Structure 1
Amino acid sequence: MDNNTETTPIACALTGEAQRSETKRFRTELVPHILERELLVNGAKFVFSNTDSAKQSVERLVSIDMGCCTFLNHEVETFDDTIVLTVTSEGEGIALAQQFLNELEHSNGRC
């Protein structure tokens, strides 16, 4: 996990439409696999069922985020039954890391 927020601006490289499209794709592909989610003091943690579909979606999300939101740190751990994705940041980036959790709660009707 990289702590690169000190030198990286807090900005997403995706345009508004591309950002909305990726958020929708993220919800569609990953929400069905969420087993747990947790708000962290410096970000958010998600636990997904360990399926081929969830694994591909998590890998895609991390790949996209590493290219557009370089101020976010991603850690993926794979276990027999679960995949754990932890998204963190520092300073002003923490709120954006936590936004993942909020977006998924809204998509599940929990707002």
Structure 2
Amino acid sequence: MDTKTLAESYFTAVNTGGWEDFVAENFEYGMCDSQKIRQGREVYLQGAGQFYALSQHLEVKKLLVEGREAAALNRYRLQSPHGKELELDVAEFLTFDESDKLVSSFIYFDTNRFQEFMQGK
């Protein structure tokens, strides 16, 4: 499958379910608030799963593809455990391997705004 279709399918699955099926065992990811690269499928499923559980809807605003890499500007509509809502723009950089599995994700967003949202401020 081509990378554009893979990325679009992954983001659709974030909205509809099944995004976990895209993630490779040898997965690595990073977040904007840390220089640390996290390793492993289960670690990603837990971290991304917590974020996606807050997501009411994901809209892909822009998607650029080169080879097996995709860069996306996404808007997440989130609802906190306190019932507060937030639209959060997130830059995501994905890499797929030749077996069409997602092997890396690096995400960037306003962490201060997100933390305030989660604290109910």
Fold match (TM-score > 0.5): no
What is the TM-score normalised by the length of structure 1?
A: 0.32
Please state which structure has a larger fraction of its residues in strand. Answer: 2
Q: Answer 1 or 2: which has greater helix percent.
A: 1
TM-score normalized with structure 2 length: 0.30
Which protein has the larger Cα radius of gyration, Structure 1 or Structure 2?
2
Using CA pairs below 8 Å that are at least 6 residues apart, which structure has the higher relative contact order? 1
